[in-house]
Structure 1
Amino acid sequence: MPRIIKIHEKPEDNSDITISLGRTKKRVTSDAGLHYKTSASALFLREMVRTVKQASRRHTGKHRFVRNASEASQRVIVKSRIVRHISAKNGLKSLQDHCSYFTRKGVEGIDQNQPKIYNKAGSLDADLLDEWQQKAAGDRHHFRFIVSPENSQNLDLTSYTRDLVAQLESDLGTRLDSLAVNHFNTDTPHAHIIIRGVSEDGKDLVISRDYIANGVRNRAREIANEHLGLRTELEIKNGITREIARQAFTHLDRELKTIATKSPDNAIDLRVASGRGNGCTEFKRVVQLQRLKFLESLQLAGEIKPGVWKLQEDFEKTLRELGMKNDIIKTMHQSLSVGNNQEKQIFDPQHTDRQSITGVVVASGLADELHDKKYLVVSATDNRVYYVPLSQKAETPGREAKPGAIVTVSISGRTEELRVSDQKILELAAANDGIYSREKHRLQVNKYRLPEGVTVEKYLENYHKRLQALERRGVVKRVGENSWSIPADLQIHLQEHGEKHLKVTLESAADLDAQITSTTPTWLDRELAAGRVPCGDFSGSSFNQELNRAKERRIETLLHLGIASKTAQGITLKRDFLEKLNKSLLQKDMKTAPIDKDRER
């Protein structure tokens, strides 16, 4: 529509003509004009702030592609972790340890070739990898991802991973310095990705939580769709059906939990609704019923009335523990020889009757690939095989146990001091007749003194978690939904109920075969010196029988060296045989040590 030009004539002065375009506006005074200019400046500033915020969102991934993918999309599991570097030295060690895990034995594919580390440009040799680690060590942090598509056996995993990293670069608005490796040691091949914590302009790379939690996974599903296409109805049904009898927390369990939380009494109503539903809805209802019946067999769910079910409060925790236990059993079976009939146990330091064990390390590895949590499988002298989960301080640095080594696994207590949060809990409880109340604590919190980004609820949640941990250890007692009874002598209770930790002592880095023929002191010699001589029973295949055979052969070696002698009563070891072996070791070291010319003169 063409714009209309209006002409207004003033009767007082025909020469004064005002021309205005479109609707007439009120004439403003000079003061009003100043106010109008200020408003325009404010609008300009608001627009600039909005533009900057949008740009920052583009560089963190916030609000970008966090919606859930369709049911027909390829399923992908994505695990992530942000690793902060305390120092450049700490960052370098963390990266080197993780990259050495990348290329360890046992993760290769069908071709049995060692896994290759690669990026978008190609493969990285040892020199390029070391250069990358040196640069990344100085960053504030780095990101770790494990990407495992459900149908990864049908994918070119390298091409898929490169496409995913390229998409992340597009979403985050910056080039990413990353490396990756493919692993084929599980039922589902997967890729490990490390991304440096800097953007292309050298600043810290910040990725929003919602993008890490949801955006990366949905982008991975989208790219899997591009490579493989959408899943067929048969593939979708088969994927759901496989979860019915799985002893782990599954996608079906997550759906059942969501249904329960939406109900006022946490009930799951799977009765047939009036009217005929579509085939997909009915199939899902039948599968959910079958899953609930399986959970009922595990005493994790119950039918309160026909078609209406209720889950146990701890069903998720129990299922996750079952899944972890099954993974441990699978790991132990893979590390043991076929036909091994030794009893298998998990070495739990919190067990009240747990005693120290000595044995040979059968296998070692990482129980948690993201957090570098290690484990040992130990065949002990009590004819049992133990899965030993290790903490960061379980082993002495530089004396880590490898397969074949002899170790002693013991339990050590730790004296725990009062934390700052414990002191605050004591202070609040003392003012409330020995009871800590979350609601009364809330009234004392000054939200303006909290660190940036920490809300009152998040602050109180940290205290809630601490009290739950103390409750599990029997230090405090819950007396209400958000209140606990706190003993006045909390520090004494902490010492009495201190957490127990594993301690792995490396008895010998050499295996039994190497110790048998050694001319230097060995762990076998210390066993013999302590009076633990071999017994006559050599049946079975446990470490105890192998140890007896090794002791017998070691005695033969000592006889040959003239350190032991045969008598009518049997084999007699000379009292100073260990001293003689140590002298032999000293002489051997002196021969191999470099000669100091000045000292010799």
Structure 2
Amino acid sequence: MSLDWSKFKRKKNRLRIRWQWAKYDDDIDQVKKFYRAIRRNKSSSSYAKPKNIFIGNRNLISPKQQNVMVKFNYSRIEKSHKTLLEQYLPQERKENVKEKPVFFSAKREGQEAYEAYKSNMVPLHFKIILSPETNRLPLKNYTRAYMERVEWELGVKFDWVAVVHTDKPHHHVHILINGADRDGKPLKRPFPRDFVTRRSHIIASEIATNIIGQRSMEDIALSNDRKLSSNRWTSYDEDIQKLSKNNKIVPESERLRRRLNHLIELDLATYENGIYSLEKNWDTTLQITGRYNSFLYARDELKWNLKNDLKLFEGGQISGIVRKVYTLDDEYENNNAVIIENKNEAYFVPLFNRPSKKMEGKECVIEASATSKGRLAAKIYTISKKTEKEKNVSQGKSSEKTKRMR
């Protein structure tokens, strides 16, 4: 279908598009959908204003711009909201952190920011993590500039509070956003999907670059070197995937060789007679780890299955022993999840609700189905076992019945 680009002028149809230019197929498809919607609505008397679209791709970020990792999460559970505010953000459970993080918001500092946020809390909440590649950024000022830009782009006055965590090699910011704005009005889907997956990354990179300048060639080379030892899917892994045949590869470049050596350390590859052999599901494991940071090390919890047999649970029913419980309350976790294993299979199961640590070692059943929005809703049930005494009693009763029948 040929496109008449004049139809997308803001004056004619009020369609607000953040242009980074539609170079990619998914962007073109998105524009086509809205173009068809405009044609259908032209004949309608009640012309609906389209929602904001953020066209672009995070790959459009120039290599010279600062790299910033952005992660979004949300929950509707009041207890989780309270735990994040009172324990997770201030790192109350971490004894090794002597100097606790200080709360701040758009215009408040310390206890004042904490109390102001707490007084207006509702169950719905959002959490954003900003983790710049460099530690040279003044994170407090950077966070305020980022949130100001986000509010301007989305047209929402967020009620938020944040802290800076410096206990990791990469300093990062946790932003907690209330489910009601500053005027107390409930938020209804304030973050469009395109904003979460694309635009938020572009904004974070642009602001960081404006504050400390572009990356030097030395910084870019250092960043590429970090990819060599990353535990997640990288551009080097894409090259390995393309060049390998039957999961075997002889690397031609030094960078790919170093990347493959790191995959050996992760038990995802082996080396013999100049040939690297990739383990089964090595690519899937790395890609899942990008979404669930516990997945890579969860393989060590298995007792009945091989490491590379751990799979991501995608629906249905499974029963087995819960080997490990991961929760958002843990400092280094970004998801609630459990590892469940039986003699035939093992699964990593992401959970929306926080699982109890008491489930570890118990036999459970997990059932999951897709919701109306296409998300996986998993529920976990503990299987109550009979005691030996109960078994003996039941066996005694059954033997008595058989005697009577005879």
Task: Rate the CA distance shift 1:300–1:412 in 2: closer, same or farther, 3 A.
Answer: closer
C-alpha distance in 2 between matches for 1:266 and 1:176: 51
Aligned-pair distance for 1:83?
1.0
Which residue number corresponds to residue 563 of structure 1?
Answer: none
Which amino acid is 1:119 matched to?
A: S
Tell me which of 214, 232, 236 is aligned to 1:230.
214
Which residue number corresponds to residue 145 of structure 1?
Answer: 128
Aligned-pair distance for 1:238?
1.6
C-alpha distance in 2 between matches for 1:197 and 1:158: 22
C-alpha distance in 2 between matches for 1:109 and 1:118: 22
C-alpha distance in 2 between matches for 1:298 and 1:212: 30
Q: TM-score, normalised by structure 2?
A: 0.58
Per-residue deviation, residues 199-225 of structure 1 (Å, max 9, x unmatched): 567252421222112221221111111
C-alpha distance in 1 between matches for 2:244 and 2:110: 56
Tell me which of 356, 374, 379 is aligned to 1:393.
356
Task: Rate the CA distance shift 1:108–1:169 in 2: closer, same or farther, 3 A.
Answer: farther
Which amino acid is 2:356 matched to?
A: K
The equivalences for 1:405-554 within 5 A come to: 411-414=361-364, 416=365, 451=372, 454=373
Which amino acid is 1:314 matched to?
A: N
Tell me which of 156, 178, 181 is aligned to 1:174.
156
Per-residue deviation, residues 387-414 of structure 1 (Å, max 9, x unmatched): xxxx73235xxxxxxxxxxxxx973334
C-alpha distance in 2 between matches for 1:410 and 1:302: 32
Aligned-pair distance for 1:94?
2.0
Tell me which of 315, 323, 345 is aligned to 2:282.
315
C-alpha distance in 2 between matches for 1:117 and 1:70: 33
CA contact (8 A) 2:90 2:100 kept: yes
Which amino acid is 2:179 matched to?
A: G
1:76 aligns to 2:68 (yes or no): yes
Which amino acid is 2:227 matched to?
A: E
Per-residue deviation, residues 12-48 of structure 1 (Å, max 9, x unmatched): xxxxxxxxxxxxxxxxxxxxxxxxxxxxxx7474793
Give the length in aligned residue pairs: 305
C-alpha distance in 2 between matches for 1:239 and 1:420: 39
Task: Rate the CA distance shift 1:121–1:297 in 2: closer, same or farther, 3 A.
Answer: closer
1:191 aligns to 2:173 (yes or no): yes
Return 5+ residue gaps in structure 2 as ranges: 1-40, 306-320, 324-328, 339-353, 385-406
Per-residue deviation, residues 58-89 of structure 1 (Å, max 9, x unmatched): xxxx425544311222111222212124xxxx
CA contact (8 A) 2:285 2:296 kept: no
Which residue number corresponds to residue 54 of structure 2?
Answer: 63
Which amino acid is 1:216 matched to?
A: S
1:96 aligns to 2:82 (yes or no): yes
Which residue number corresponds to residue 566 of structure 1?
Answer: none
Tell me the secondary structure at the aligned position of residue 198 of structure 2: helix
Which amino acid is 1:412 matched to?
A: K
Tell me the secondary structure at the aligned position of residue 357 of structure 2: coil
Aligned-pair distance for 1:242?
3.2
Tell me which of 360, 363, 366 is aligned to 2:330.
366
Aligned-pair distance for 1:250?
4.5
CA contact (8 A) 2:122 2:180 kept: no
Per-residue deviation, residues 478-513 of structure 1 (Å, max 9, x unmatched): xxxxxxxxxxxxxxxx9xxx8789xxxxxxxxxxxx
Which residue number corresponds to residue 198 of structure 2?
Answer: 214
The equivalences for 1:1-400 within 5 A come to: 43=42, 45=44, 48-49=47-48, 52-53=49-50, 56-57=51-52, 62-63=53-54, 66-68=57-59, 69-85=61-77, 91=78, 93-100=79-86, 101-105=88-92, 113-125=99-111, 129-137=114-122, 141-151=124-134, 153-199=135-181, 202-206=185-189, 207-246=191-230, 248-256=231-239, 260=242, 286-295=254-263, 300-301=268-269, 311-316=278-283, 318=285, 320=289, 324=294, 366-371=330-335, 392-395=355-358
Task: Rate the CA distance shift 1:218–1:348 in 2: closer, same or farther, 3 A.
Answer: same
- Identity across matched positions, percent: 20
Structure with bigger RCO (C-alpha 8 Å, 6+ apart): 2
Tell me the secondary structure at the aligned position of residue 211 of structure 2: helix
CA contact (8 A) 1:164 1:219 kept: yes
Please, what is the CA RMSD of the aligned residues? Answer: 5.1
CA contact (8 A) 1:108 1:185 kept: no
Which amino acid is 2:173 matched to?
A: A
Which amino acid is 2:89 matched to?
A: F
CA contact (8 A) 1:65 1:211 kept: no
C-alpha distance in 1 between matches for 2:69 and 2:167: 16
Per-residue deviation, residues 371-400 of structure 1 (Å, max 9, x unmatched): 4789xxxxxxxxxxxxxxxx73235xxxxx
Task: Rate the CA distance shift 1:311–1:137 in 2: closer, same or farther, 3 A.
Answer: same
CA contact (8 A) 1:80 1:146 kept: yes
CA contact (8 A) 1:176 1:199 kept: yes
C-alpha distance in 2 between matches for 1:155 and 1:294: 29
Tell me the secondary structure at the aligned position of residue 411 of structure 1: coil
Tell me the secondary structure at the aligned position of residue 242 of structure 1: helix
Which amino acid is 1:228 matched to?
A: I
